[in-house]
Amino acid sequence: MKTSVAMLSALLLAVVLVSVRAAGGKSRGNCCMVYTKAAQLKKLPFNLIKEHKMQEITGSCHIRAVVFITKANRRICANPKAKNVKRMLKQLRGKGNKNQDPRQKKGRQ
């Protein structure tokens, strides 16, 4: 009896540890934890940026960041307060969003 209780406890502990580890890994993959260095960001060719989005501070995301996504689906995390990031965002807005619904573009003309 003691052996079965001990084995059941060990199995339950293993399941909990695996669940916690999986949840932690997933949340880190979806959040920027640090900013890309400014020197590396300057080397990023503008035409390789496919899209961008803002990451706000929520749950496991501990920093506010601009996330640039390249055509190769690489995520680049940038400080939204940095001058070069503001400049890049301004250029992207000027370029227009290729993924925008065409009906929205017609309404603006």
Rounded to 5°, angle at Cα 92 from 107 and 108: 10
Give me the pLDDT at residue 2, please: 66
Q: What would the pLDDT profile of 46-104 be if each residue is shown by its tens digit? A: 899 999 999 999 988 999 999 999 999 999 999 999 999 999 999 988 876 554 433 33
Give me the pLDDT at residue 28, please: 57
Give the pLDDT mean for 103-107. 39
Residue of 55, 56, 64, 50 lying closest to 92 (CA atoms): 50
Q: Alpha-carbon distance 109 to 104, whole Å?
A: 9
Per-residue pLDDT for 19 more than 50?
no
